[in-house]
Structure 1
């Protein structure tokens, strides 16, 4: 009984300490992002799409932004008429790194690219087709919908190293990363490594019988812990990242997409994710060329790649990872499938190194900030500008 009382007292002390810690963390926590209007509609094939002609005001401790959507249902401004029919049309696809979270509509990298091209004397409209939470599966379907409308001469895939190797690996049985209970089109590989389209989940509300995230998993645990201010405060600390790397498994990791992107040896689920991502990028490139467009692939790096302190506390603290590998792998995919390739990683790392460690991402939100978006847009402009000089008619295969 004495030992039981001691154990109960110790347990009570731990509970009280955690409760106090949670209270202090909530008082100290920076304001999380709030939006006046999420501007999204349910879509049976894509899961969700931006609500057309809408407006949202987003506020957090790190930003105060205005987001609009246009008549095409893009996070973009209203498209002006092309009076002489000579305007270059470019379509950017991607997730929240393209849409883009944390910056106002005019500051997203597709609009930076548009401004750069206009300064160079090009009449152009860059359609921002990025949508928060989208995966490569949805990029492909989005292209199929938008290409006949905007008739792009260039199609750009904004590939997020943070999630795009992870999202694609989760769509084989309705076990989606974002909107796990929302049915949609998804893709897999058959026994011969060919792409298969699946439509059995289209328009359905999913439950656990459909393969959504099980109750007992690291992903579910992360989702539960994210409701705690104490966890949110500590999860990017050096110790928390060091510990998380040692709790990782083949399927669950600190940053699963980046884990696949940077892991030296790919096997099992990592290899399947990589192969499926490569096939989807290849299909997007193929359909872009059929639509008369030059396909491009843009590598958008994440925190552990760009910042020495984050790298050393996470992937750099264990063996088997290469900080530069994501860019090399994506470059290899681009070469294999004939896409122009843009790597924003060197520009971001060089900027941080030359500006005393200034961040080009929001430390809490983790998306590229205004400077980060500008660096991505400028990097795309450099490569696309060279393509235009070499191939002014923008023949789909003229810039390889």
Structure 2
């Protein structure tokens, strides 16, 4: 009796199918590796060609962050960001001479490091830092010359009043100034309501049972957040090759879409600002450094007293100065001196005392003279 034949053809078919699948997978792996290596070489090539470092960095996030893209700044785990230490030159948003020392303080001249200790420490926003003017033209630098005493400029572009006070609390114990000058525009009060401004995370205060509670420390390094960029841009944004290609293909309208986003967390800015005055009083009592709170103004607050926006800002500044006085702090309102200059020459006021959005050297001189007189009265002297 003959044995049944073994179904060789079927086995052979199965084996051949396996070989085909294995070969297809191998080719796919080869393609993926080849493409990956090619993209890696191109990434290295364009970075080397443009002098871009190989450190991890999201080029999209940086572009959508005002302070990462246009200002000399670095991340700070408490404040969100500070001026970049040891920065010097005109490669900044203003094309002016800007010199930052090791403590992230703006020097009063490129060749004059900030002394330690100092007589006066100034904190605030871009009006204190001196956006649009060179080192020697800021009001803290001119105050230094008027007093004949060392003045440290700890103002930071874009800061809210909350960040300015936190920076004062950090620096006063270290620098031991005779006086702390806290300058603000009313916009700084609005900024206390934000967790993110111009694409950069920041700390903020909540009001809980009538007291301030610090939130969002440390702030996220993501500038801006992934959900604001989308998954694709968040992932590919780390490739300089993709960024380079998008710019050359004219695809920046999508690649950089979104502008400088901000995220609001509450509407309690005026209450937070008022409570910050009490916090400054506690700092004064703890350290012995006398505090002077100074109200500065946008050009529209001086030239237009009736528009709703200006009325809100003028009224808000007046109320905050009242809060400071109630807390036992000395105050200075620069509005009257600036308004007198406007009344004397309405046509020429703006061009003389302001640049684009900030004060000129002459405008900063007016502020410095007012602060000098107030400090002499506060500290004694001639």
Residue in 1 that maps onto 2:188: 164
**Matching residue within 131, 139, 142 for 1:112:** 142
- CA 1:349/1:196 → structure 2, altered by over 3 Å: closer, same or farther? same
- CA 1:355/1:286 → structure 2, altered by over 3 Å: closer, same or farther? same
Q: Distance in 2 between matches of 1:148 and 1:56?
A: 30
Alignment check: 8 A CA contact 1:153 1:294 kept: yes
Does residue 195 of the first structure (1) align with residue 220 of the second (2)? no
Q: Which has the larger radius of gyration?
A: 2
1:65 match: secondary structure: coil
- CA 1:43/1:226 → structure 2, altered by over 3 Å: closer, same or farther? closer
Q: Distance in 1 between matches of 2:85 and 2:275?
A: 31
**Matching residue within 87, 93, 101 for 2:131:** 101
1:342 match: secondary structure: strand
- CA 1:371/1:59 → structure 2, altered by over 3 Å: closer, same or farther? farther
- CA 1:374/1:225 → structure 2, altered by over 3 Å: closer, same or farther? farther
How many positions carry a matched residue from both structures?
283
Query: Which structure features the higher share of helix residues?
Result: 2
Query: Cα distance, 1:36 vs. partner?
Result: 11
Does residue 280 of the first structure (1) align with residue 311 of the second (2)? no
What TM-score do you get using the length of structure 2 for normalisation?
A: 0.64
Q: What does 1:289-308 correspond to in 2, within 5 Å?
A: 289-308=285-304
Does residue 74 of the first structure (1) align with residue 105 of the second (2)? yes
Question: CA-to-partner distance for each residue in 1:277-327, whole Å, 9 max, x for gaps?
Answer: 11123212311331110011000011221114xx556647xxxx4785344
- CA 1:347/1:224 → structure 2, altered by over 3 Å: closer, same or farther? farther
Residue in 1 that maps onto 2:175: 150
2:157 match: secondary structure: coil
Query: Cα distance, 1:97 vs. partner?
Result: 0.7
Q: Distance in 1 between matches of 2:280 and 2:198?
A: 21
- CA 1:200/1:111 → structure 2, altered by over 3 Å: closer, same or farther? closer
Q: Distance in 2 between matches of 1:103 and 1:177?
A: 23
Does residue 39 of the first structure (1) align with residue 72 of the second (2)? yes
Alignment check: 8 A CA contact 2:193 2:204 kept: no
Q: What does 1:5-16 correspond to in 2, within 5 Å?
A: none
Q: CA RMSD in A?
A: 3.6
What TM-score do you get using the length of structure 1 for normalisation?
A: 0.62
Alignment check: 8 A CA contact 2:199 2:224 kept: no
Alignment check: 8 A CA contact 1:38 1:56 kept: no
Q: Distance in 1 between matches of 2:313 and 2:78?
A: 36
